Chain A
């Protein structure tokens, strides 16, 4: 949506974390344009459903291509776009419900393929657009509209999940820190393989965690956010797992495997082993 579209009437709530994520993504795409000279139409943003999915319509300025698909399927749609046209920069935007609940089955396969897309996940620990139901990242015991007596499912730690599944680039960020988040997204986009930038993007209406993340000295709330130490070895998965043991929300790159070839690279290598035949040769093979 390059300029105000009167007809488009969806709005994020005031103060929604997704505003920061949107700005960071716009910055990362503009940085890429300036760096590579490739036009903005070289970017495709594949969105899921929910508050997060609407990001694709709310991007300001010059417009990338967008695909606002169906609930939970942004990853396999991005697989199709990327493997059809590996020269495109493909970004997935999704929320915690969309990506980790209904779409959870697609993370493992893309990690195994090392699909060369960057997924930016807006985690607010709640289903916002359907008005406040519990999600995989909602805390155990939390009372929500769908857990009237408290959530009995344990809270998922997405970063541990990504590490276990073999995602080759994992970063964690906060929507309130736009410039640093843009940098993480840029790193994710530049990574050759499957990258996830998991962002804490609080829902000001149903699950406002800004204070818990940033802390509040007057109320004696310690900040949940902490910087990944500069000396953290991002090639060391064990070290990343260790870091996560301290709880809270890390900010920075946790893991970066720079050696594994991406899916499009592997396919290109595979073609060297294949012996492509023309359709005429294939037809001739059935002749008798």
Chain B
């Protein structure tokens, strides 16, 4: 039987090569024209602790990490015990026979990874042994893998040739060993390489790269999972004349430093996760009232306080949209794919400059660490949009009127006080009711500048629609495609712009009998926000620390739609 995709889960202890094996497989597969997507989950410790990574390899573009595991690569006994129930009955379990022995599971195959790697003279080739075995299981031609290895290790160094030789030998050993077992999954269909250039990277890398492409000048941050990789990328790459990237001493320093930089005319950003975001609350209110452009990235993890630092969840939406006291409603962009991480970052910077205020860019753990192949961005299409700058003389009234006004930049005429107290049009503190009314309306009125009618829609004539947000887009879209194919009457909507919502989208949603929102939180936060805007919305929730499975969504959406139709028919 020809297969269109297969799912491999690598499980073991942190430090055993679980992540590098999965990423190596993804690299090998994309190199020859397949699509790849990985899903990682870590323990919150450096060495040891159970960890697993899943790689899905497919002929067509991939939307989710995959529900069923075709192959489990178990690095130790615990990994087998924990994960073997998720391997489908006809699947294969490759276990590290240098570590443990497995009896009584017909799916099992022992492979001495380390020993085989050592026999090639390259102790680090264990993941190549595994990749060779996996390739045999899906009948992937050896030449694909050899192509990958030569390309990967041709780096113009003296040892290249030897490393290529030992890696190919390791793959061959893995392949030969498993071929003796007679285990097989079927033949993976030949790849269908796209005719455009691609890049492969993690969500956080795409987000950081997007911010740089969008003209970011200034970045500060404080280490916090799962946002730290953005800080690290920025410190390495946001360098040179006029640029600045630095690790500061807390998230309070992060937000207040970017307030200073945004005030001084720079495109400024920080990234954090839940606990750090909570610390930024007061600073975000200051950005809102003093009208200072800046972007805060919230890489969501699970739970309040320290919660689940290395798990995924979509539970910060309310906190992101309403992060501060005193009547604020922040613009929110939530990205749902690795590609959207790139373009969402550019858009967040553009929005903050356009309306002169803070913008929250939401992403989540499952996206941050996901490795995926995407179309290579065409930078000639990316614009570095900047704020309206005041170019007049002194005596300027920065906060006059109800409309956005050009922003003076320190060093130039137009000096004013950026004020966190309610102020008059010069920026001086006032308590007059008339001023508070004017300034409140001015601040909310500016949100209109961010209304953009960009959204996805399909089967729009249906009275029931699915509308996920953020990282639940992938599994929800895969579920929607299945529902559509099986004739379940349901429509599809999606946007990155959660606040303000695209006005035409909101109009469409208001006409629906029901909008189903799959989201990873207990309260159904987005559904609740939609309801407050006049949409009949209900959430499908999950709070396990893991993404939705497609199968579960198909089942739950079907149940909900049937219930609605029965009720409408008066059954």
Where the two chains meet, the residues of A that have a C-beta atom closer than 8 Å to any C-beta of B are: 1-2, 5, 7-10, 39-42, 44, 46, 49, 54, 56-57, 62-70, 73, 76-85, 87-88, 105-106, 108-109, 267, 270-271, 274, 276-277, 279-280, 282-283, 286-288
Contacts and interface: CB of A to CB of B under 8 A. Distances in A.
A80 B268 CA distance: 9
B19 interface: no
Contacts of B201: 286
B28 to A, nearest CB: 10
In order of increasing CB-CB distance, the 6 nearest A-B pairs are A80-B260, A66-B417, A286-B199, A80-B257, A276-B240, A84-B261
Contacts of A109: 248-249, 253
20 contacts: A7-B428, A41-B394, A65-B408, A65-B416, A67-B418, A68-B418, A76-B248, A77-B259, A79-B248, A80-B218, A80-B256, A80-B260, A82-B260, A84-B217, A84-B265, A84-B266, A106-B249, A276-B239, A279-B212, A283-B377
Interface stretch (B83-91, B181-189, B429-437, B545-553): B429-437
Contacts of B412: 41
A106 to B, nearest CB: 7
B404 interface: no
B356 to A, nearest CB: 15
A287 B420 contact: no
A84 B282 CA distance: 22
B253 A106 contact: yes
B386 to A, nearest CB: 14
Contacts of B248: 76, 79, 109
A121 B258 CA distance: 23
A1 B426 contact: yes
B261 to A, nearest CB: 4
B420 A282 contact: no
B27 interface: yes
B282 A70 contact: yes
Interface residues of B, number: 72
A276 B234 CA distance: 11
A179 to B, nearest CB: 25
B50 interface: no
A283 B343 CA distance: 13
A31 B236 CA distance: 40
Given A80-B261, A81-B261, 19 more contacts: A7-B424, A8-B428, A8-B429, A39-B413, A46-B260, A65-B417, A66-B415, A66-B419, A70-B285, A76-B252, A76-B253, A77-B260, A81-B263, A84-B244, A84-B264, A279-B213, A282-B212, A287-B199, A288-B27
Nearest to B238: A276
Nearest to B286: A70
B142 interface: no
A267 B261 CA distance: 16
B53 interface: no
A28 B237 CA distance: 39
B416 A83 contact: no
Interface in B498-516: none
B252 A288 contact: no
Contacts of A76: 248, 252-253, 256-257, 260
A282 B209 contact: yes
B261 A42 contact: no
A1 B412 CA distance: 17
B283 interface: yes
Given A68-B417, A78-B260, A73 B429 contact: no
B521 interface: no
Interface string B211-239: 01100011010000000000000000101
B421 to A, nearest CB: 6
A46 to B, nearest CB: 7
Nearest to B266: A84
A80 B435 CA distance: 29
A81 B424 contact: no
Contacts of A41: 394, 410-415
B428 to A, nearest CB: 4
Given A282-B209, A283-B379, A79 B237 contact: no
Contact of B260 (A54, A66, A79, A267): A79
A108 B379 CA distance: 41
